[in-house]
Amino acid sequence: MIKNVRVRFAPSPTGPLHVGGVRTALFNYLFAKKHGGAFILRIEDTDQNRYVEGAEQYIINALNWCGMPADESPTNPGNYGPYRQSERKAIYKKYADELIASGNAYYAFDTSEELDSHRKDHETKGKTFIYNWHNRLKLKNSLSLSEEEVQAKLDAGEDYVIRFKSPQEETLHLKDIIRGDIQIDTNILDDKVLFKSDGMPTYHLANIVDDHLMEITHVIRGEEWLPSLALHYQLYQAFGWEAPEFAHLPLILKPTGKGKLSKRDGDKLGFPVFPLEWSDPKTGDVSRGYKEDGYFPEAMVNFLAFLGWNPGTEQEIFSMDELINAFDLERVNKSGARFDPDKTKWFNHHYMQEQDNAELARAFKPIVDRNVTLSAVEGSHGDEISPSGRNDIDVNYIEMVVALIKERATFISDFWSLSHFFFVAPTSYDEKASKKAFKEGTKAILAQVASIIENIKDFTVETLQTEIKGWITSNEIGFGKVMMPLRLALVGALKGADVFDIMFMIGKGESVKRIKKVIEIL
């Protein structure tokens, strides 16, 4: 076990949390808990122009729903706060000044128009403009200007940025837990902006300073940050600080396997890419969430864990505790992980079977009440099973129904189509099924079955089976000739739960009523 592990998940509050971000948070969480460490949520809101109201709370809610609460966060601070970068502004200028004093950074006064002009000039010559060692002495900065000129510009309040002075003709040897040894030629690196004259740092400076001050031991983040790895290592060297270990996670790919998964893919193929529903405060647009679509958080965590990680065994179903015990960054793949919407449903189906029936019944009850009420309004209801009121079905009864149908369900939203006949009588009968089930003599057979049911005193599933199957056998009638039309009478189609379970649940009177109705209609 690695000692004193501290990891951070550092999203920007610019909108809802994408599944890629949730996967990054999950891998950080698993690694921290595996080593008895701390999982920290830091909100990186230095770019105030992109700040979106409600996004920070959404991130916290999403992590909590997934069962990954942060040990330290803006709402649960520890000893390393503040946990919002916008509240740490006073810290960064000091460190930017330190880099200037040590010669590792410099003031640059080039305007955006001047830089655009340089870029266009390079493009006409078939070159790419990079602000670094090969041209910085020709540009407007504290390396090319005298100290007096620099001080005059600062005193006059001219706009400036502080740039990192990337080294020339040096090969960096970097190490990544997932990707191994990486070599970078510093000649191709640009002098990144670290600090702006508005008093706000860029991500690069704030990220390094915060990770150091918060004593982060491992930086586990997405592959898109790999190009910044060299700069971040150099910043640690420039400050004389020990760098954390780095691990860059593979991309989550579209279901086709080509390109990074986006919200557009979800919209196009009909699956969410956010953990919770998101309502855009500016446009009012609502984006679907896994929670609202009926996924269990355990299912989401389980399928996200397999996007890029492999336990090395055949096991696919993992509880959070099992994931924590099994997780190892060295078993994370380098290549992108294809997102499979069908596999996410497979996981949810499994976790459906694990859910407590009473909890499922409580979640299903509003759907039942709404549909039963609708049936009543339309004048198409049977005798609803309701001890406490016509359109208020007893939750204990619903729990019994759930136990019979959940094996075939993936989502709670599937329950009504699988169980409507337990609550309302059929008002129509599947035409194809009717032709298949109703033959010459079927009415007489059903009339006899209704009579048998009416005469049963001990009305249980076992008694129903014994009496009806015994009658079929003793009269040498094919089971299909009885059971198909009986099912049609009860359900309206040749599908549904066990026929004897249905009759027991809806009761003797309702069972006979439905049989007599189908005889009359068909």
Residue type, position 44, single letter: E
263 annotated ligand-binding residue: yes
In this structure, what token pair is assigned to residue 425?
A: 């009588």
In this structure, what token pair is assigned to residue 88?
A: 């740490």
d(CA 427, CA 75): 54
235-251: buried (b, 16+ CB within 10 Å) or exposed (e) per residue?
Answer: bbebbeeebbebbbbbb
**Strand 38-41 relative to strand 105-108: parallel, antiparallel, unpaired?**
unpaired
Using CA atoms, how far residue 378 sits from 195, 203, 374, 392, 408, in Å, is: 67, 60, 6, 17, 29
d(CA 484, CA 437): 5
3-state DSSP assignment of residue 111: coil
3-state DSSP assignment of residue 82: coil
Alpha-carbon torsion angle 344, 347, 353, 359, nearest 10:
-60
Other Cβ atoms less than 10 A from the Cβ of 76: the count is: 13
Other Cβ atoms less than 10 A from the Cβ of 272: the count is: 24
Other Cβ atoms less than 10 A from the Cβ of 450: the count is: 19
d(CA 467, CA 478): 15
Cα–Cα–Cα angle for 412, 413, 418, rounded to 5 degrees: 85
**Secondary structure letter of residue 244 according to DSSP:** P
For residues 222 and 337, the answer to whether their CB atoms sit within 8 Å is: no
Q: What are phi and psi of 274, to 5 degrees?
A: -120, 145
Per-position DSSP letters for 360-386, written without gaps between them: HHHHHHHHHHHHHHHHHHTT-------
Query: Which residue among 263, 436, 495, 508 is the active-site one?
Result: 263
Q: Is the previous residue joined to 82 through a cis bond, with omega within 30 degrees of 0?
A: yes
Q: Is 263 one of the annotated active-site residues of the chain?
A: yes
- Write out the catalytic residue numbers: 263
List residues forming the annotated binding site for ATP.
263
